[in-house]
Structure 1
Amino acid sequence: MKSHLTLSILISLATPAMAAEDRLADILARGTVRIATTGDYQPFSYKNPVTHEYEGLDIDLGRQLARELGVKLEWVPTSWPQLMADYEAGKFDIVMSGVSINLERQKKALFSIPYLKDGKTPITRCTDAQRFQTLAQIDQPGVNVIVNPGGTNEKFARSHLHHARLTVYPDNTTIFEQIASGKADVMMTDAIETRLQAKLRPALCAIHPNQPFTYSEKALLLPNDFRWKAWVDQFLHQAQARGTLDRLQTRWLSWPWLTQAPQNDLDTLLALMNERLKLMPDVARYKWNEQSAIEDLAREKTILADLVKQAEAAKVSPSLATAFFKAQIEAAKMVQHQLTDSWRQQQASRFEDIPDLKTEIRPRLDALTSQLIDALARNQTTLADPARQPLIESTAQRWIPQTQWGEAAKTASAPLLNPRP
């Protein structure tokens, strides 16, 4: 009797995260998997400030996980300080955000098999690289160490630093600018992140990323349900065996990440144009796999006719909208042709893990189209002002760099520099 009473009390006290009897069955019955992500940790999870969509290694992996389950995907925003509270509240089925395994988290939750090895290492201005090689050099009075709150970075810093000044900075998406600008001296974070940020910001250098201070592993955080964990482990095992994880790491470490958010309407318009071009390599890979033509004139005609209607509804000049989107389509085809020409020369084989054109890429293109029309509407006065042409040209060069897109950059921005009435 006493044992039954004890069991009843334990069940009544269980959190929603603990109480799920069969998470996998629940997901399949619901038809949706809820994936929590922070959106502030490149290359794993980043909420693009232009498109407001998540992107990154774990984001692509999450989409593949949902496809394998045969269910819809629901992203659940969380943060590092709030992560375990959201877990205990039962807000999600899994966390995919470059989560580090640690024993404190594992007291409450499960982890999948690890999918990446990592460790804490410094990143600082290249001019100060020799100053911050060791923890002893970093832990000195007068050294300003910056850290994001609530995660393993803060825990590591508080455990190892006793003399340096520790600044907790709340925005993980702009924290590296604090170092580059001299407002902070150094940060200790995961080696993979230091490599990426040093590539994105030439003023910064990753300090011995191949020999970090610690050893850690990245994994997916899960509720206490071993059947669900077994499915996720097998999903990751197959992704490792097929080379998917290696390909995703290569893709997102070389991705043209944004290093700033748009500051005004003109920035937003040009940034959206750049985001459209960034989808074209995947379009080209899909068409290469399918051996389909790059040009689809019938679809282009349909799109342009629909754009005129959307432009009229948004009070954008139909002639401007038509010229603008014709240019975006031509620029997109230029990128695709350049890639396929190089693949032919290389005798490239089939590409793996490419998003489906109809179900994944085109909906994103359609969403960008709506955003672009809205941005055009907000910029019509600026585009019609001859005195603003130098500003438009310099902004275009900043957001759609020719170093990345070649002649396609000029083609895409041409209607803005020669707008039609």
Structure 2
Amino acid sequence: MKRLLLSTLLVTALASAHAGRLEEIHARGVLRVGSTGDYKPFSYRAGANDFIGLDVEQAGELARAMGVKLEIVPTSWPTLMTDFGADKFDIVLSGVSVTAERQQQALFSVSYLRDGKTPITRCENQLRFQTLEQINQPAVRLIVNPGGTNERFARAHAPHAQLTVYPDNVTIFGQIVSGAADLMMTDAIETRLQQRLHPELCAVHPDAPFDTAEKAILLPRDAELKIYVDTWLQQRISSGGLQKSFDRWLDYPWALEPLRQAIDERLLLAEAVARAKWNVQAPIEDLPREAQVIAAAVQQGRTLGLPDAWVAAVFKAQIEASKTVQRELYAKWKAQQAGHFDDAPDLANTIRPQLDRITTQLLRAMADNQATLKDTARLIRPLEAAALSPAAAAQALAPLSAHVVVRF
């Protein structure tokens, strides 16, 4: 009965919107969701058009409930409200904190998480940064990402500390690991996650943050849309679906993302390689060259402590996957009687340097994740699938786990 009532409320809210945002969304057939892509576990940009995370999954569920497609629109914390005011997206789902400043321009859904600001630092420095008084000292090097609640909190509560506003919220924690900064102030949930990704770092009293804040969906000033979203979100909360999603994304193997991205980027070059070969009618398969690539990768892997068999197996599988994509393209171009591609890059001077760069990134990511991988099966399976069929190639770079990835 409760579910029936909630479903009825959803339908009623939708039907009552005459010229509001809900009607616009349905007329467009697309729900545009702003997301920053730099805040694990809520939103992470894993590729040019590839966003993953709890709030990305929530956005997909909401779009399905509305019966429309989902479009993720990239934004950033410094430009979030400006982009919102410019109507670049309908709503924002990105681990957004409810603030009075944001409420001046927008509405918020019901809250789906309570959190607060707390420090994260190198583990040997935990006792140094237990209080705001300890942090608010001229000798303390405090680092934050720009434009959001982290920066505002730091400026308000630690004005005497040496504040660095670092532009990249994805790599900012490496600044603390390297010793370039002493600590960061951020949401407790992020400190818990980042200490798992960086064993050198420890969250400082995440169960007792310095303040509290609610996470919610940022909405336009449209009452009907708020009713719809609130009802949908309350149903997800009461059913336990939100908690299950939250737990899954907290357990997601985030450390593997750089590895997945390197594999993805390398395979995406297959079309450029095929175009370059097509222009000179070169064969797709070049076994001597493939052997050289694998041997060079194995040698480079040794310097990183990687087993030869791991490296050879991964690169052999990736080369086979790339050739599958190239063969499918050759077949299509032959059927189309395609001519010379004027935009084809130079194989030796353009593509191979890119492949060399990606190889280095891939090997480093493998080395960083040896303990997690234990063997190469998780890397090779998607690539072997891609080598079996062109259809599988399109999905070859699904995540290296069974978790959800949303592509747009």
Count of equivalent residues: 318
TM-score, normalised on structure 1? 0.64
Q: 2:75 aligned with 1:78, yes or no?
A: yes
TM-score, normalised on structure 2? 0.66
The answer to whether the 8 Å contact 2:262/2:362 transfers is no
The answer to whether the 8 Å contact 1:312/1:318 transfers is no
Q: Within 2, Cα distance between the matches of 1:138 and 1:237?
A: 38
1:74-132 superposed Cα distances (whole Å, 9 cap, x missing partner): 21111111111112212211000000001111111000001111000000001111100
Query: Residue 169 of structure 2: SS of its match in structure 1?
Result: coil
Q: Within 1, Cα distance between the matches of 2:231 and 2:167?
A: 36
Q: What percentage of residue pairs aligned between the two structures are identical?
A: 49
Q: Within 2, Cα distance between the matches of 1:95 and 1:414?
A: 34
State how 1:2-401 maps to structure 2 within 5 Å: 21-49=19-47, 52-258=49-255, 269-270=262-263, 317-318=284-285, 395=364, 397-398=366-367, 401=370
Q: Within 1, Cα distance between the matches of 2:198 and 2:126?
A: 14
What residue in structure 2 maps to residue 280 of structure 1? none
Q: Within 1, Cα distance between the matches of 2:105 and 2:325?
A: 44
CA drift at 1:168? 1.0
CA drift at 1:406? 3.2
Q: Within 2, Cα distance between the matches of 1:39 and 1:393?
A: 21
CA drift at 1:401? 3.9
Q: Within 1, Cα distance between the matches of 2:50 and 2:226?
A: 27
Which amino acid in the other structure matches residue 317 of structure 1?
Answer: I
Q: Within 2, Cα distance between the matches of 1:392 and 1:146?
A: 26
Q: 2:373 aligned with 1:408, yes or no?
A: no
Structure 1 pair 274–242 and aligned structure 2 pair: CA distance change class (3 A): farther
Which amino acid in the other structure matches residue 46 of structure 2?
Answer: N
In terms of mean alpha carbon deviation, does 393-402 or 79-88 score higher? Answer: 393-402
Query: Residue 96 of structure 2: SS of its match in structure 1?
Result: strand
CA drift at 1:403? 3.2
Calculate the aligned-residue CA RMSD, in Å: 4.3
Q: Within 2, Cα distance between the matches of 1:246 and 1:319?
A: 50
Structure 1 pair 394–102 and aligned structure 2 pair: CA distance change class (3 A): closer
Displaced runs of 4+ in structure 1, greater than 2 A? 258-262, 267-275, 309-320, 377-382, 390-407, 409-415
**Relative contact order higher in (CA < 8 Å, ≥ 6 apart):** 2
Q: Unmatched 5+ residue regions in structure 2?
A: 1-17, 269-273, 295-312, 330-343, 385-408
Q: Unmatched 5+ residue regions in structure 1?
A: 1-19, 276-308, 332-364, 416-421
Query: Residue 25 of structure 2: SS of its match in structure 1?
Result: helix
Which amino acid in the other structure matches residue 372 of structure 2?
Answer: T
